Chain A
Amino acid sequence: MSAAALDATGLSAGYGPFQALFDLTLHAPAGSRTAIVGANGAGKSTLLRAILGQVTVTGGDIAFDGRSLRGVRPHRRAKAGIALVPEGRHVFGDMSVADNLRVGAHLGRSGRWDLDAVLGAFPLLAELLDRPAGVLSGGQKQALAIGRALMANPRVLLLDEVSLGLAPIVVRDLYASVAEIAATGTTVVVVEQDLTQALGFADHVHCLLEGRIVLSGSPDELSLDEIRDAYFGVRVA
């Protein structure tokens, strides 16, 4: 399954009366690795949920593989090939690890990811298959959430705060796996609070502040100071 491009144009979105994104434009070309950084409440997760159709979009549009997603319900977007690893992992805690992975493959989209391939990428899951997902450690749950998303053989993989609450060594391993996934040609968009991880992984970084993109560029073009200023909303003199 080939990668696909994701384009948000003039996007405004929010929850009820609360607007979280303002006229946001972002292009993630097919096969690219994009990182979206920003402080808590900057609108990063809202952007990902908007791409899946799970928050109200009040303006602008999102196109997947060149086609507008307006009016397309969330499960249809998944079917088109967009997968989200949600913040907080959201594994199905009452179900076994194996069943979580099978639910990930619900759509039966074919591709290189199946149970064996996912267990190859995350060997720690292999001995946990019969356990209820609810009892796993944070790192194990995160691996499961990513593996579950891969089971759908997505064309675009969105990862929300994969490093949150995990030990640095676990984060490093997870990012190594995500880099391998990106190398297979899948478009990857990560939302990340950890700047070092984001800059190390992405070929393009967008900094979000209060629902707007305030800085964009490749990690080479941007200095850490510039990003920090944008991150915290400090105006560069």
Chain B
Amino acid sequence: MSLLNAVVQGIALGGLYALFATGLSLAFGVMRFVNLAHGDLAVLAAYLILSVATALGASPWVALPIVLVVGGAVGYGAQTAVLNRTLGADPMPSILVTFGLGVVIQNALLEKYSVSQQRLDIGGLVTDSVSVGSLAVGTLPLIILATAVVLLGVLELVLRHTRFGRAFRATAEDSRTAQLMGIDDRAIYGAAMAISFGTVALAGFFVGSRTSFSPLVGPALLLFGFEAVVIGGIGSLWGTLLGGVVLGVSQTVANELAIGWDLLAGHAVFLAVLLLRPNGLLGKGAA
């Protein structure tokens, strides 16, 4: 029964990984942009939510929408003003720029907030649980999972069925030909980064409410995010959810079987998928 519990916890944890990885997946899918600062952006968002909540004397729930909107706007601005210049056949400029950005964010956070652990206080939700049969499942993990599923579902619908979504997919497949249809690829990239920054801020909120965080935890998050994207298959949003869940379940089940083996097991599963299905579980070209 505790194994079943571990699986359920793992699925919920997978929702968090998926939420975090969505932005990575989108940015890479549409413009082959590798964002090494993605984890640090999540941590930055958590700190911003903390500061805004403190300044307003309100709950982090109130600060969340503010930081989401600001994050989206900053994402659009950063992409159109700076990051578009790093795009090209060579992925190295984007990797170097975002690596540097990550270092800058980490050090700025250290300077402002010190190394001490922080936490977003969202009240009793953190300890609440729902009984499912004989299992007690945490309310917050369930909310996170539901948020991830709804968010990915909405994104998928938008990409499938709207004018913007078609322009997005056309640009992802062949930006030069998309231009011929009158699509401004740079604006599409800006929108992709707005969604990426917005979703990573949401992920940062949940990371910060679920566990404590400090300025240097970003890179570890980034690793999980990349693993979720690769396990699920690059270019597939549902794949990213599946990848997050596979990673989460691997970690919690391994920890149940042998305490402390969770991270190693997660990496092992990631490597196994890379060996056996290099295109990921739902990726294009998967057998």
Residues of A near any B CB (own CB < 8 A): 52, 54, 73-76, 78-79, 83-84, 86, 90, 92-95, 99, 102-104, 106-107, 148-149, 152
Contact = CB atoms under 8 A, between A and B. Distances in A.
B167 A75 contact: no
A90 B170 CA distance: 11
A94 B177 contact: no
Interface of B: 163, 166-167, 169-170, 173-174, 176-185, 284
Contacts of A148: 181
A122 B179 CA distance: 24
Contacts of A102: 163, 166
A95 B185 CA distance: 17
A90 B185 CA distance: 16
B97 to A, nearest CB: 23
A54 B166 contact: no
Nearest to A145: B177
A83 B36 CA distance: 38
B176 A95 contact: no
Contacts of A103: 166-167, 170, 178, 181, 183
B184 A75 contact: yes
Nearest to B178: A103
Given A92-B173, A106-B166, A106-B167, A54 B182 contact: no
A94 B173 contact: yes
Nearest to A79: B182
Given A86-B180, A106-B182, A95 B166 contact: yes
Contact of B180 (A73, A78, A93): A78
Nearest to B165: A99
A86 B173 contact: no
Contact of A78 (B170, B182, B284): B182
Identify which of A52, A78, A93 gathers the most chain B CB atoms within 10 Å of its CB: A78
A95 to B, nearest CB: 6
A95 B183 CA distance: 16
Contact of A73 (B178, B184, B284): B184
Given A86-B177, A106-B163, A95 B170 contact: yes
B170 A92 contact: yes
Nearest to A83: B180
Nearest to A109: B182
Contacts of A94: 169, 173, 284
Nearest to B187: A75
Given A92-B173, A93-B173, A95-B166, A107 B181 contact: yes
Nearest to A102: B166
A92 B169 contact: yes
A95 B178 CA distance: 13
B181 A104 contact: yes
A202 to B, nearest CB: 22
A152 to B, nearest CB: 7
Contact of A75 (B166, B173, B183, B284): B183
A54 B179 contact: yes
Contact of B182 (A75, A90, A93): A75
Contacts of B180: 52, 74, 78, 83-84, 86, 149
A41 B73 CA distance: 45
Contacts of A90: 174, 176-177
A152 B177 CA distance: 14
A75 B177 CA distance: 10
Contacts of A86: 177, 180
A227 to B, nearest CB: 29
A78 B181 contact: yes
A231 B74 CA distance: 54
A41 to B, nearest CB: 20
Contacts of B169: 92, 94-95, 99
B237 to A, nearest CB: 14
Nearest to A91: B177
B107 to A, nearest CB: 37
A54 B177 CA distance: 10
7 contacts: A73-B179, A78-B180, A92-B169, A95-B166, A99-B166, A149-B180, A152-B181
